[in-house]
Amino acid sequence: MKKILASIFGVVTVLAANAQVSSVPSENINPADTVKIIVNLDDLDVTQEYVQNLIADADNGLDLFIWTWKPFEHPAGDSLVNGLGGAPWKNSNPALMMTKEANHIYSYTMVPTIWYGVDAATVYKEDIHFLVKPKDGGGYGDPDRKSGDLVLKIDPPATDREPVFQFPSLVGQDDILSVVYENWRETKPSMQNLDADSAYIHAECKLISGTIIKIPSNYFADPTLTPQAKMTLVGDGEFQWQIVPEMYFNLQPGDEIDEIKIIVRKPVFLSGAERVTDDLIVTVKCP
C-alpha cells in the first residue's frame, strides 16, 4: 500500500471544490477492496461554530470518530453502531475511531461492502456519507462539535466497460464470486429490457488439468432446470449472481480451476441474439 504521509497531498480529492475528503486509492475505487478515507480539518467550513469546536477538540488531543449513515447505518446493538448508550451522539463507538495521520488530518480504513454489509451496486448508488466528531459531539443542549456532512463519491468503472463484470477483481475457487449485469447499459437490442425471469448464466470452468465443466451442460439446455443459474433482478435494470466456484462446479478433491467463462443469456437460446455479445472471463488465483 502507498505510504500515506508521502501521498496525502497527492491524492485526487473527490470533493474538488473544497478538498474536504480524499482517499487512497484516489480513483477507480472498488467497493470490495480496501479504501482509506481521509479528512483534512483545515478544509472544512471553519466559519461554522461546530467546526471550530471540532478543531479545538482535535488541538486539545481528543480522538476523532467517523459517524456514518450511508450506504447503511448500523442499528443499536451492532458492533459498528455509530454511538453507544442512551445518548449515542455523546458516546461514539470506539470501533469508529479515526487514525491521526498528521496535524488536522485523519483517516478511517474499511472495505465498504464488508463494513456496511451491502453489495457493490449499493455503494456505487449511495456513496459513503459521514461526518467527523469527537467522542462527545455535544448536542442535548450543548453546542455541537462536528464537521458538516461529508461524502466520498464512489463511482462505477467507466461506462465504456461491458455491462457484465465481476467482483472481486481477483477470486479464489473457494471465494464468493459476484457477477453483475447492468442490463440498463445493454446496447444489443435483443437483450435489452429483460424482466426478472429472463437473465440466466451459462458458466464453464476450465481446470488446470484441461477438463471443462459446463453448467448447464450445453448452451441449448434449459437453464430454468438449474435454478442456481438464474440471475437475481435487484432493481433498476441490474441483475446479480453469486457463487462459490468450487461448490458450484462440484469440484473433487485436488481439482484446481484455471479460469471461468461466464455468459449471460435468455432462458430460450436459439442463436447469438439470446446472449450478451462478449464472454466474461474470470481468472482464478491459485489456492
Q: Tell me, letter by letter, the H, E, C secondary structure of 8-24.
A: CCCCCCCCCCCCCEEEE
**Structural domains of the chain, with CATH:** 4-152 (no CATH), 164-285 (2.60.40.10)
Q: Report the amino acid identity of residue 233.
A: L
Q: Report the pLDDT value the prediction gives residue 287, as an integer from 0 to 100.
A: 65
Percent residues over pLDDT 90 in the chain: 71
Q: Report the pLDDT value the prediction gives residue 176, as an integer from 0 to 100.
A: 86
Q: Report the pLDDT value the prediction gives residue 11, as an integer from 0 to 100.
A: 33
C-beta atoms surrounding 247 within 10 Å: 11
Q: What is the pTM of this model?
A: 0.54
Whether 277 shows a pLDDT value over 60: the answer reads yes
Which residues sit opposite 284 in a β-bridge? Answer: 171
Helix count (H) and strand count (E) of the chain? 5, 16
- Dump pLDDT digits (tens) for 29-68: 889 899 999 999 999 999 999 999 999 999 999 999 999 9
DSSP code per residue over 258-273: EEEEEEEE-SS-SSGG
Per-residue pLDDT averaged across 231-258, rounded?
Answer: 93
Instruction: Take residue 148 and report the three cell numbers written for it.
Output: 458538516
Average pLDDT value for the chain: 88
What values do phi and psi take at 186, rounded to 5?
-65, 130
Give the contacts of 280 (CB within 8 A, at least 6 positions apart): 162, 164, 165, 166, 179, 261, 262, 263, 264
Tell me the C-alpha distance between 139 and 89, whole Å: 7
Q: Report the pLDDT value the prediction gives residue 160, as an integer from 0 to 100.
A: 57
Tell me the C-alpha distance between 275 and 264, whole Å: 6
Whether 15 shows a pLDDT value over 70: the answer reads no
Residues 175-179: contacts with CB within 8 Å, 24+ apart? 175/244, 175/245, 176/242, 176/243, 176/244, 177/242, 177/243, 177/244, 177/245, 177/260, 177/282, 178/32, 178/119, 178/120, 178/240, 178/241, 178/242, 179/231, 179/240, 179/241, 179/242, 179/262, 179/264, 179/280
Tell me the C-alpha distance between 46 and 107, whole Å: 19
Q: Report the pLDDT value the prediction gives residue 4, as an integer from 0 to 100.
A: 31
Q: Is 227 exposed, middle or buried (0-12, 13-18, 19+ CB in 10 A)?
A: exposed
- Dump pLDDT digits (tens) for 146-163: 999 999 999 876 655 689
Per-residue pLDDT averaged across 204-224, rounded?
Answer: 91
- Dump pLDDT digits (tens) for 79-134: 999 999 999 999 999 999 999 998 999 999 999 999 999 998 889 889 999 999 99
Which of these, 61, 59, 239, 246, lies nearest to 164 by C-alpha position? 239
Residue 123's region, left for phi above 0, alpha for psi from -120 to 50, else beta, is alpha
